[in-house]
Amino acid sequence: MLATSASAQVSLTPPAVEAPATKPAAKAPPKPAPVAAKKPSAEAKPAAKPPAAPGAAAPTPAPEDPNADLVYGAYQRGQYKTAFDLAIARAQTGDIKAMTMLGELYSNALGIKRDYVKALDWFKRAADGGDREAMLELAMMRIAGRGAPMDKQEAVRLLASAAKLGEPKAAYNLALLYLDGQTLPQDLKRSAELLRMAADAGNPEAQYALATFYKEGTGVEKDLDKSVRLLQAASLADNVDAEVEYAIALYNGTGTPKNQPAAVALLRKAARQNSAIAQNRLARVLVSGQGAPVDKVEAMKWHLIAKTVGKGDPELDELFAGLSPEDRAKAELGAKRWFGTAR
What b/e readout covers 140-162, taking b as 16+ CB neighbours within 10 angstroms? Answer: bbbbeeebeeeeeeebbebbbbb
**pLDDT score, position 19:** 31
Backbone angles phi, psi at 306, to 5 degrees: -65, -40
Q: CA-to-CA distance for 44 and 267, rounded, in angstroms? A: 27
Please work out, in degrees rounded to the nearest 5, the angle formed at the alpha carbon of residue 83 by the alpha carbons of 79 and 84.
120
258 to each of 249, 263, 281, 321, how far by Cα in Å?
8, 9, 16, 32
- Number of residues in the chain: 343
**pLDDT score, position 342:** 65
**pLDDT score, position 341:** 84
**pLDDT score, position 37:** 54
> CB neighbours of 338 closer than 8 A, spacing ≥ 6?
301, 305
- Region of residue 255 (left: phi > 0; alpha: psi -120 to 50; beta: else): left
Burial class (CB in 10 A: 0-12, 13-18, 19+), 261: exposed
The pTM score is 0.79
pLDDT in tens, the chain (343 residues): 333 333 333 344 333 333 333 333 334 444 465 666 544 333 333 333 333 333 333 333 333 444 448 999 999 999 999 999 999 999 999 999 999 999 999 999 999 999 999 999 999 999 999 999 999 999 999 999 999 999 999 999 999 999 999 999 999 999 999 999 999 999 999 999 999 999 999 999 999 999 999 999 999 999 999 999 999 999 999 999 999 999 999 999 999 999 999 999 999 999 999 999 999 999 999 999 999 999 999 999 999 999 998 999 999 999 999 999 999 999 999 999 999 986 5
Q: CA-to-CA distance for 231 and 208, rounded, in angstroms? A: 6
240-252 helix and 260-272 helix, angle to the nearest 10 degrees? 160
206, 192 Cβ separation under 8 angstroms: no
104 to each of 41, 144, 163, 314, how far by Cα in Å?
13, 15, 20, 47
86, 93 Cβ separation under 8 angstroms: no
